[in-house]
Amino acid sequence: MGKKGENIYKRKDGRWEARYSKGHRPDGGIRYGYCYGRTYHEAKEKVTQAKAAVLNHQPLWEKSRRKRFEVYCDEWLRLKRSNVKKSTFNKYETILEKHIKPGLGEYFSDTLSDMLIEQFSYDLLHEEMLSAKTVRDILVTLHSILEYAKRQNPFMESVTIVYPKENPREMRVLSCDEQKRFTDYLLKDMDECRFGVLLALLTGLRIGEVCALKWENISVKNRTILVKQTMQRMKNADSTGTHKTRIVLSTPKSNTSARVIPLSNYAAGLCEKWQSPNPKAYILTGEAEKYLEPRTLQNRMKRYTKECGLEGVHFHTLRRSFATRCVEVGFELKSLSEILGHSSTKITLECYVHSSMELKRENMEKLSEKLNYTPS
């Protein structure tokens, strides 16, 4: 129940109603305005803003000024142009055009409700058959747009988003035997491309980072790799021709992704053997004017793993396998996180490190030795 004198009451439909004076009618009577909220505090916040607008002679939000949600989507996207990477902007644009605007764009912002958002989420999962992770990404973007719309329209009611639960998938990591088999396969008939794949397995490089890597970024003398660019295929928004996408070289995924990776003696030896005399040459081609894009490298990877008899292995499996091998040999976690270009060690542990049964068994034996357990 509202406090006495506040004119805030709970309605029979469960919402809270707050009343305020908008002015006076010609006959001297008071003209009242009403604000609604799902909670007492929400209604009070809205009515406080309305009273402040009246005192400061500012215009109130009127029904005639209501905007459809797609307008807020477009405004929100324009505001993102200057503070996110082009790849991130393209991701937002795709989410809006393919999912959010077709599903919710025609609604007025003040008619959006918990049930409407839940139905939207349900349709993404069960009608469009999107994965739970993809739906979560869409809903995270939607939440940001709703927050923006709420700031523009203080009388818009808050909407609760329920995110679908993701079932964790088992990470595919090469076993030690599989990794040796794959390494032997790459070494047998090695060329520039196979060298690049093996280098990724030895350093944890991402596929876009390998594709963008040039010999000027590798110092055999100092045994280091400087990661400062990534390659990706992006939507060609300005194109009027037949090419809908284009290859773009840009800064890495995040600030921590721009990094220096130390090379082992073995990796440095491989680099010395395959080093191109042209420092501007890409390591995957040995030429400065010719590159290998991520999609092509993925296709090469499919052929390599098929010929090697490995199933369920993608390029990212190499990165996960590298991280797992590092943990198995006792790699210090902070250093590993920096080599992988992660913003925190939590990401390294949760997303990339797979503990093998052999390592678990070894640690159990260490525990037994520590406690002096012996078989009876």
Beta bridge partners of 218: 225
Residue 171 has pLDDT above 80, yes or no: no
Residue 243 has pLDDT above 70, yes or no: no
pLDDT-derived band at 50, boundaries 50, 70, 90:
confident
What was the pLDDT predicted at 76?
95
What was the pLDDT predicted at 246?
85
More confident residue, 154 or 341: 341
Residue 374 has pLDDT above 80, yes or no: no
Please provide the size of the chain in residues: 376
What was the pLDDT predicted at 12?
82
More confident residue, 261 or 376: 261
Residue 16 has pLDDT above 70, yes or no: yes
Average pLDDT, the chain: 86
Q: What is the pLDDT of residues 305-342, one digit of tens each?
A: 999 999 999 999 999 999 888 888 888 888 888 888 88
Q: Please compute the mean of the pLDDT values over residues 17-26 and round it to a whole number.
A: 84
What was the pLDDT predicted at 241?
55
What was the pLDDT predicted at 64?
46
Residue 65 has pLDDT above 90, yes or no: no
Least confident residue range of 66-75, 153-162, 191-200, 366-375: 366-375
Ordered structural domains, the chain, with CATH: 8-60 (no CATH), 69-152 (1.10.150), 176-312 (1.10.443.10)
4 vs 134: CA distance, rounded Å: 48
Residue 181 has pLDDT above 90, yes or no: yes
The backbone torsions φ and ψ at residue 67, rounded to the nearest 5 degrees and listed phi first, read -115, 150
Structure tokens at 267: 């990796």
What was the pLDDT predicted at 161?
92
What was the pLDDT predicted at 272?
95
Residue 239 has pLDDT above 60, yes or no: no
What was the pLDDT predicted at 240?
56
Please report, in angstroms and rounded to a whole number, the separation of the first and last CA atoms in the chain: 70
Q: How far is CA 113 from CA 55, 146, 210, 270, in A?
A: 31, 11, 46, 59
Q: Please compute the mean of the pLDDT values over residues 11-35 and round it to a whole number.
A: 83
pLDDT-derived band at 237, boundaries 50, 70, 90:
low
Structure tokens at 51: 């009273």
What was the pLDDT predicted at 169?
67
What was the pLDDT predicted at 60?
61
Looking only at the bridges linking them, the beta strands covering 230-235 and 245-250 are: antiparallel
Tokens 């393919």 -> residue? 98
Answer for the pair 69, 117: CB distance below 8 angstroms, yes or no. Answer: no
Q: What is the pLDDT of residues 77-135, one digit of tens each?
A: 999 988 888 888 889 999 999 999 999 998 888 788 899 999 999 999 999 999 998 99
Q: Please compute the mean of the pLDDT values over residues 233-245 and round it to a whole number.
A: 69
HSE, side-chain direction, 13 A CA sphere, residue 320: 18
Q: Please compute the mean of the pLDDT values over residues 253-280 and round it to a whole number.
A: 91
Q: What is the pLDDT of residues 204-217, one digit of tens each?
A: 999 999 999 999 99
H or E stretch covering 342: none
Considering the chain, what percentage of its residues have pLDDT values greater than 70? Answer: 87
262 vs 272: CA distance, rounded Å: 15
Residue 151 has pLDDT above 80, yes or no: yes
39 vs 45: CA distance, rounded Å: 10
Considering the chain, what percentage of its residues have pLDDT values greater than 90? Answer: 47
More confident residue, 100 or 252: 100
Q: Please compute the mean of the pLDDT values over residues 172-194 and round it to a whole number.
A: 93
| 193 exposure class (CB count in 10 Å sphere: 0-12, 13-18, 19+) | buried
| 318 exposure class (CB count in 10 Å sphere: 0-12, 13-18, 19+) | buried
H or E stretch covering 153: none
Helical H runs in the chain?
40-55, 69-80, 86-95, 101-104, 114-126, 132-152, 176-188, 192-203, 207-212, 265-274, 294-308, 315-328, 333-340, 345-347, 357-370
Residue type, position 215, single letter: W
210 vs 293: CA distance, rounded Å: 9
